[in-house]
Amino acid sequence: TWASVKMGPPDAILGITEAFKKDQYEQKINLGVGAYRDDAGLPVVLPSVIEAEERLLKSCLDKEYAGITGISNFTKLAADLAYGEESIVLKEDRLAVTQTISGTGALRIGGEFLKKFHPSTKILLPQPSWANHAAVFRSSGLQPETYRYYNKETIGLDFEGLIEDLKNAEDGTAVLLHACAHNPTGVDPTPDQWKQISEVVKAKGHFPFFDMAYQGFASGSIERDAFAVRYFVEQGHQIALCQSFAKNMGLYGERVGAFSLVAESSEEKARIESQFKILVRPLYSNPPIHGARIASTILGDAQLKAQWLAEVKTMADRMITMRQLLKDNLEALGSTQNWDHVTSQIGMFCYTGLSGEQVDELAQKWSVYCTRDGRISIAGITSGNVKRLAQAIHEVSK
């Protein structure tokens, strides 16, 4: 029956973990997938998450289904975190929100909603973007295209190209924006550049569609990382927002996320939410409850939330320290290249500027694994492996 089914290619990012696992070398380094590791290279379950789970276990909750749009206490607290409790859209009760299967599920629900209700099916993605973006939107029936984002020469933002492409796009086009810590480049617009982007988006009647997978995780501050989202809302944009708690709460496999749309009125919000339910029902009926309960236990308790915020900052700070250590080690080895971008880029990833061939050499000669676009996951660097990593990068880039 399935004789004609062809072998598909592996996921460009998750496939690296498989190559890494096959490598027998003891000092191998995995800088492929973006998942946080502590300084011993181990996955982390945050103490605030463990505390929340203990509380949940003690309260003997039942395992009944959540509503179609999820646990309402969770979606409320997730919205507060992203938009800010004082946000006008929350005060005026005009945010339509649904719990989702992490950030990917949020993107997919958003894609399905646009396909069904947005006049244009085109969506502009930054070039480059997270590898899964185009696939998710294509699967939703949209047509992803790109706008200029990254300048290879400066290893920075191609701001002029970005503005020009947004201006040249047809009025009313959906534009995907990484809210903070752009994946894969680690290059974000400055606050002033965000203001200019907001103006162009407004003048063109484009639809701003934010993906926020790293709130708090980029800078260590929830507010700073939410700047773009909150600024656009203040400017009157009716944005879409995808949230993920995979990184900032370390809830990767629990699949905790939210999708929201700013409506014009409370009445419009109700209509939108009714359509979220119609989209969700034939896909998965209703979302999983455990992770959302963990997140809402943390966000709903002032003391536990403060503890979590400190833990998020610890993770962000460790990555900032590893960036500095990597740069210091490269310079100490006598590398004559400019590595300023290693510390100026933010978040979980660094776009090193290494070529595909150099990446291959890193894997073959040094057992150092990362994606072929030269992206390294900073979370995979530790004080124990940074020296060898710098040496490897130096040798392949001389």
Interface residues with ligand TYF (CB under 6 A) are 11, 13-14, 33-34, 130, 132, 183
Q: Which residue has the tokens 């492929």?
A: 32
For ligand PLP, the binding residues in 51-110 under the rule CB under 6 A are: 102-104
**Cβ-proximal residues to 218 (8 Å cutoff; 6+ apart), any chain:** 180, 181, 188, 224, 225, 316, 346, 347, 348
Q: How far is CA 347 from the centre of its chain?
A: 10
**Residue 251 in contact with ligand PLP, rule: CB under 6 A:** no
Residue 390 binds what, of ligand TYF, ligand PLP, none (CB under 5 to 8 Å, by partner type)?
none
Closest distance of CB 132 from ligand TYF, Å:
5
Residue 35 CA neighbour count, 13 Å, CB half: 15
Residue (165 or 211) nearer to ligand PLP, CB? 211
The sign of the CA dihedral 236, 109, 246, 54 is positive
Residue 45 binds what, of ligand TYF, ligand PLP, none (CB under 5 to 8 Å, by partner type)?
none
Residue from 48, 244, 260, 297 that binds ligand PLP (CB under 6 A)? 244
Which residues are marked as active site?
130, 211, 247
Closest distance of CB 297 from ligand PLP, Å:
19
Closest distance of CB 264 from ligand TYF, Å:
33
- Nearest residue to ligand TYF on Cβ basis: 34
Residue 211 binds what, of ligand PLP, ligand TYF, none (CB under 5 to 8 Å, by partner type)?
ligand PLP
Residue (70 or 380) nearer to ligand TYF, CB? 380
The DSSP bridge partners found for residue 103 are none
Q: What CA–CA distance (Å, rounded) separates 241 from 262? A: 9
Mode of pairing for the β-strands spanning 240-244 and 349-351? unpaired
For ligand PLP, the binding residues in 7-46 under the rule CB under 6 A are: 34
Residue from 31, 201, 246, 370 that binds ligand PLP (CB under 6 A)? 246
Residue 92 binds what, of ligand TYF, ligand PLP, none (CB under 5 to 8 Å, by partner type)?
none
Residue 13 binds what, of ligand PLP, ligand TYF, none (CB under 5 to 8 Å, by partner type)?
ligand TYF
Q: Which residue has the tokens 């945010």?
A: 95
**Cβ-proximal residues to 137 (8 Å cutoff; 6+ apart), any chain:** 107, 111, 123, 125, 143, 144
Q: What CA–CA distance (Å, rounded) separates 30 from 53? A: 30
Running DSSP on this structure, what letter comes out for residue 10?
A: P
Q: How far is CA 156 from the centre of its chain?
A: 19
Residue from 48, 99, 183, 377 that binds ligand PLP (CB under 6 A)? 183
**Residue 216 in contact with ligand PLP, rule: CB under 6 A:** no
Q: Where are the beta strands (DSSP E) in 247-325?
A: 256-262
